[in-house]
Amino acid sequence: MTEEILEPGLPIIDPHHHLWDLRALVPAFPEPRHDFIEAIAGAAYYTFDALHADTHSGHNIVGTVFMECGAFYDAARDEAMKPVGEVEFVNGVAAQGASGLYGDYRPCAAIVGHADLTLGDAVKPVVEALVAAGNGRFKGIRHSAAWDADPAVLGPPFHAPEGLYGSDAFRAGMAAYSEYGLTFDAWLLEPQLDDVLALAKAFPDQQIVLDHCGTPLNIACYHGKLHERFDGWRRSIRAIAECPNVAVKLGGLAMAFCGLPDTGPDKGHNSEHLAGLWRPYIETCIEAFGADRAMFESNYPVDRWGASYPVLWNAFKRLAAGHSAAEKHALFAGTAARIYDIEHVLPAT
């Protein structure tokens, strides 16, 4: 699907993408493969060249934020320290962009890594190693809590314990982590949204970013139930938005988990169709959080399931069409720049 790029001059910071090399891992997942695996199989190698091609496909991407994905862990380190290798790798990608050879574009200007918060106070040396590895670019961690009683919802890739964010071990780690003044990205599923609400209230000074609009579900036992579950999702989003320490990422809806669309990877849906599917979720989030606590995200290459990179951002621009210039600036770049502390990426005004 090719489209004319809408508002090609609008500066964008993509606040959520991955880099990985899964070529050896994807074939190893058991049959029948979860739809998530089918979605990423075509992007099993997604490093700088692939990211560069996508971010230079028409929209004005001025910078990006890397989001942890368990890639390039350091096998020589002990278990707690293995994620430091991912930040070291991504910092190298960021250095490529900072060389100026690719123009003013700054990939991975901010890096969100991973640390196991169930380590409690012992997470501190891990965090300090991540900060050192990031060379000023490391801005926070994500410790995902996605879980569902139906094993078909998530499949083999994800196995967070039930109730992770409320566990004593996790809360002890969050207390230790919160001393560093870094961000915390939360990924979990729509039925679990009360866990984010409780976490935000327990740590009111910790900046939390809720990924993927809270991940509404249209898969496995939830398939076909988006409409009947929408009001409950909306109530949860509005309750979380009352916590001033939480921001939301507007995206992830093209994942196989969300099924918007649910017809599988690269089916050629245009941006008008996608905007129509996503509108109830995106508009609810912006209304609840405000433009200054909301940011559009690509979640690439995972969202390749439902949209090419240029079509995805066209859909977001259609959804933002009724907002003011200041609100658009916040939604597409300003909020991400502030929360991830990368204002220097934005063009001078």
| Local confidence pLDDT in tens for the 349 residues of the chain | 689 999 999 999 999 999 998 876 666 666 667 777 766 777 788 999 999 999 999 999 999 999 999 999 999 999 999 999 999 999 999 999 999 998 899 999 999 999 999 999 999 999 999 999 999 999 999 999 999 999 889 876 667 999 999 999 999 999 999 999 999 999 999 999 999 999 999 999 999 999 999 999 999 999 999 999 999 999 999 999 999 999 999 999 999 899 898 876 556 789 999 999 999 999 999 999 999 999 999 999 999 888 899 999 999 999 999 999 999 999 999 999 999 999 999 988 6
Rounded Cα distance between 175 and 258, Å, is 32
CATH architecture of 11-343: Alpha-Beta Barrel (3.20)
**Residue 273 pLDDT:** 95
Q: In what order do the strands lie in the sheet with 11-17?
A: 11-17, 60-67, 106-113, 138-142, 183-186, 208-210, 246-250, 294-296
pLDDT reported for residue 296: 98
CA distance 273 to 236: 26
Please report which helix (H) or strand (E) contains residue 108, including its range.
Answer: strand 106-113
In this prediction, residue 43 carries a pLDDT of 79
pTM, entire model: 0.96
What is the 3-state secondary structure of 151-198? Answer: HHHHCCCCCCCCCHHHCHHHHHHHHHHHHHCCEEEECCCHHHHHHHHH
Burial of 181 (0-12, 13-18, 19+ CB in 10 A): exposed
pLDDT of residue 2: 81
For position 184, what pLDDT does the model report? Answer: 99
One-letter amino acid of 248:
V
CB of 72 within 8 A of CB of 25? Answer: no
Q: What six digits make up the tokens of 315?
A: 């859909």
